[in-house]
Amino acid sequence: MADIKIDYDSIPLSYRDYLELMQREGEFLAIDDEVDWNLEIGAICRRADETLSPSPIFNNVKDCPGFRAAEFGMTKSGTRGRPWARVAPFVGAPLDASLMEIQEAYIQSMENNPVHPPKIVDAKDAPCKENKWVGDDIDLEKIPAALQHMGDGERMIQSASLNICQTPDGKWTNWSINRSALHDKKTMKGFWAPAQHNGMIFAMWAEKGEDMPFALALGVPPVCAWQGASRVPDYVDEYDAASQMLNAPIEMVKCETNDLLVPAHAEMVIEGTVSISETLLEGPYGEYAGYHFPGKKLAKPRQDITCVTFRNKSIHPTCVPGVPPNSTINAIAICQSADCVIALKKAGLPIINGMQTIESAGHWFVLRVKNNWHELTGWNLDEFMNKIGGFVWNDHIGGSFGKIIVVGEDIDPEDPLAVTYAFATRHHPERSTYFFPDSKYYGLGPEGYHSSEDYIGRVGVPGQKPVSGGGLAIYCCIGLQEHVGHPKPDILTFHRSWPKRIKDKVLANWDRWGFRTPDPVLQKHASQSTPWVYFTKTGEGETGRGHNL
Does one domain contain both 295 and 360? no
Does one domain contain both 256 and 122? yes
**Which pLDDT band, with edges at 50, 70 and 90, does 538 fall under?**
confident
Q: Alpha-carbon distance 24 to 47, whole Å?
A: 21
Peptide linkage before 284 cis (omega within 30 of 0):
yes
Does 391 fall in a domain?
Answer: yes
Which amino acid, one-letter code, is at 497?
S
Q: 56: part of which helix (H) or strand (E)?
A: strand 55-58
Q: Alpha-carbon distance 350 to 366, whole Å?
A: 14
CA dihedral of 176, 235, 15, 326, whole degrees rounded to 10: -40
What are the tens digits of pLDDT across the range 31-48?
A: 999 999 999 999 999 999
| pLDDT at residue number 196 | 85
| pLDDT at residue number 236 | 97
Q: Alpha-carbon distance 491 to 480, whole Å?
A: 17
Kindly tell me if the per-residue pLDDT of 87 is higher than 80.
Answer: yes
Does one domain contain both 91 and 123? no
Q: Beta strand pairing status for 212-218 and 433-435? A: unpaired
DSSP state of 303: E
Does one domain contain both 301 and 352? no
Does 493 fall in a domain?
Answer: no
Q: SS3 for 312-371, per residue? A: CCEEEEECCCCCCCCHHHHHHHHHHHHHHHHHHHHCCCCEEEEEECCCCCCCEEEEEECC
Does one domain contain both 241 and 358? no
Q: Beta strand pairing status for 162-166 and 212-218? A: antiparallel
Does one domain contain both 281 and 398? no
Does 496 fall in a domain?
Answer: no
Which phi and psi (to 5°) does residue 133 adopt?
-115, 130
| pLDDT at residue number 537 | 82
- Residue that finishes a domain, picked among 483, 499, 514: 483
Tell me which residue of 438, 434, 436, 435 sits closest to 467, measured CA to CA.
Answer: 438
| pLDDT at residue number 333 | 95
Does one domain contain both 101 and 133? no
The answer to whether 157 and 140 have CB atoms below 8 angstroms apart is: yes
- Residue that finishes a domain, picked among 286, 310, 334: 310
Cα separation values, 177 from 102, 160, 180, 341, Å: 20, 6, 9, 20
Proportion of the chain above pLDDT 90, given as a percent: 80
Kindly tell me if the per-residue pLDDT of 549 is higher than 50.
Answer: no
Does one domain contain both 306 and 365? no
Does 218 fall in a domain?
Answer: yes
**CATH number for the domain that contains residue 424:** 3.40.1670.10
435 by DSSP, 3-state: which? strand
Question: For 227-243, what is the mean pLDDT?
Answer: 96
Lowest mean pLDDT among 15-29, 158-172, 486-500, 533-547: 533-547
Does 488 fall in a domain?
Answer: no
Kindly tell me if the per-residue pLDDT of 319 is higher than 90.
Answer: yes
Does one domain contain both 89 and 124? no
Does one domain contain both 92 and 124? no
**Which pLDDT band, with edges at 50, 70 and 90, does 462 fall under?**
low
Question: For 389-393, what is the mean pLDDT?
Answer: 92
Does 505 fall in a domain?
Answer: no
| pLDDT at residue number 466 | 56
What are the tens digits of pLDDT across the range 398-434?
A: 877 889 999 999 999 999 999 999 999 999 999 999 9
Does one domain contain both 82 and 173? no
Lowest mean pLDDT among 75-84, 242-251, 441-450, 521-530: 441-450
Kindly tell me if the per-residue pLDDT of 441 is higher than 80.
Answer: no
Does 380 fall in a domain?
Answer: yes
Count up the domains in the chain and report the number: 3
| pLDDT at residue number 532 | 82
Cα separation values, 448 from 187, 201, 361, Å: 28, 23, 14
**CATH number for the domain that contains residue 218:** 2.30.110.10
Does 539 fall in a domain?
Answer: no
Mean pLDDT of the chain: 92
Cα separation values, 494 from 410, 497, 500, Å: 14, 6, 10
- Residue that finishes a domain, picked among 90, 111, 132: 111
> 351 lies in which domain range?
347-483
Does one domain contain both 264 and 124? yes
Q: Alpha-carbon distance 503 to 494, whole Å?
A: 8
| pLDDT at residue number 467 | 58
Proportion of the chain above pLDDT 70, given as a percent: 93
| pLDDT at residue number 276 | 97
Kindly tell me if the per-residue pLDDT of 2 is higher than 70.
Answer: no
| pLDDT at residue number 524 | 81
Tell me which residue of 237, 269, 240 sits closest to 253, measured CA to CA.
Answer: 269
What are the tens digits of pLDDT across the range 118-165?
A: 999 999 999 999 999 999 999 999 999 999 999 999 999 999 999 999
Kindly tell me if the per-residue pLDDT of 1 is higher than 70.
Answer: no
